[in-house]
Structure 1
Amino acid sequence: MNETMKTLLNRRSIRKYKSEQIKDEELKAVLEAGKYAPSGANQQSALFIVVQNKDIIKKISKMNAAVMEKENVDPYYGAPTVILVLADKSKATPVEDASIALGNMYNAAYSLGLGSCWIHRTREMFESGEGKKLLKEWGVEGDYIGVGSCILGYPDCELPKPAPRKDNFVIMVK
């Protein structure tokens, strides 16, 4: 089996991280994988906002937890890097484009020995007044939809075992 297939079959969501920040070259490689994801009509509608500032991560963690109506929960599982992925609503396939970019980033992270996990509620976070204010502070202009977040860090746990695959996953029509 080639390395790409091994990565695709072995990558798992990690929910416990070491506090050590990832290396800049690892982050750059993950972002590059996201930038080279396919996109509808090659419109490249995805936008990546990388957050490594601990205070900002705490702030967005509270915003994400508020969407769940929970307190004292860290939806980002202590990951030292959070990549918020949004997409330009004016493009043809913004959610699809950002989703496949996220997929590329998770697989790239695994290939580099990093842990990652998809975190939901990014859409709700950036539809809020607080979220829109943050985007403005960060210099984001335009009409964007939050799609998901990619958390990154060095795993501080065993790699989870894969869940069994469901039956009838594939229907062949020849």
Structure 2
Amino acid sequence: MTNDVLNTIQNRRSVKKFLPDSVPVEIVDAIAKAGLYAANGMGKQSPIILEITDKSLRDRLSALNALYFPKEIADPFYGAPVVLVVLADKSVPTYLYDGSLAMGNLLLAAQSLGVGACWIHRAKQMFDSEEGKKILSELGVEGDYEGIGNCVLGYPDGELRPAPEIKDHRLFKA
């Protein structure tokens, strides 16, 4: 059995090499909005999304992320021109799950709209730092938020590899 949603889920791949071409703002907005529609605990809507299309801020975030990357890499955002940062309100008991679901929606929405995406970790470390807190303040974000993930967006540079075979012993039926 298959449909458009299942096809999107099954064909989504992480992109780790992007073209420098910008993504139209209406597509970025649609992807961000999909993240805001993610399921969330008790209807609290704890996640917020920073939509970063400004190159200087994008580069600043990449440099901050690189500080927490375990190996030296020029750009942990793989050249993607857009970053959607998901943060979630730590006062909500389900904030980590809510933010993770928002990240999942972003990745699937990007795939469905023909945009490459990748979840880049270390958002927690980024926004626990003084520089990260400064960036949030500059953007007018107030509250006690934890970084959940960075969803980088852009058009893939090259072909994506096919889905790997699903490992055995991951589905149990009763």
Q: Give the TM-score range, shorter chain.
A: over 0.9
4+ runs deviating over 6 angstroms: none
The sequence identity of aligned pairs, in percent, is 46
| Cα pair 2:32 2:84 within 8 Å, conserved | no
- How far did residue 163 of structure 1 move? 2.2
TM-score (norm 1): 0.95
One-letter code aligned to 2:14: S
Deviation at residue 73 of structure 1 after TM alignment: 2.0
Name the counterpart of 1:30.
Answer: 31
Query: How far apart, in 2, do the equivalents of 1:7 and 1:109 lie?
Result: 9
Whole-angstrom CA distance in 2 between matches of 1:103 and 1:87: 14
5+ residue gaps, structure 1:
none
Q: Give the structure-2-normalised TM-score.
A: 0.95
- What's 1:48 paired with? 49
For 1:47, the aligned partner's letter is: I
Partner of 1:4: 5
- In structure 2, the CA distance between the partners of 1:129 and 1:113, relative to structure 1 (3 Å rule), is same
Alignment partner, residue 66 of structure 2: 65
> What's the offset of the Cα at 1:47?
0.7
Aligned residues: 173
What's 1:132 paired with? Answer: 133
Task: Establish whether residue 86 from structure 1 lines up as the match of residue 101 from structure 2.
Answer: no
Q: Which moved more, 1:114-123 or 1:70-79?
A: 70-79
In structure 1, distance between residues paired with 2:169 and 2:135: 44
Asked if the contact 1:62–1:71 (Cα under 8 Å) also holds between the matched residues in 2, the reply is no
- In the TM superposition, residue 159 of structure 1 has moved relative to its aligned partner by 1.4
The range that moved more, 61-70 or 113-122, is 61-70
Q: Mean Cα displacement is larger for which, 122-131 or 51-60?
A: 51-60
Contact 2:77 2:152 in 1 (8 A): yes
Unaligned runs of 5+ in 2: none
Where does residue 97 of structure 1 map in the other structure? 98
The residue aligned with 1:118 is 119
Q: CA RMSD in A?
A: 1.1
Q: Which residue of 2 aligns with 1:167?
A: 168
Aligned counterparts of 1:93 and 1:170: Cα–Cα separation in 2: 25
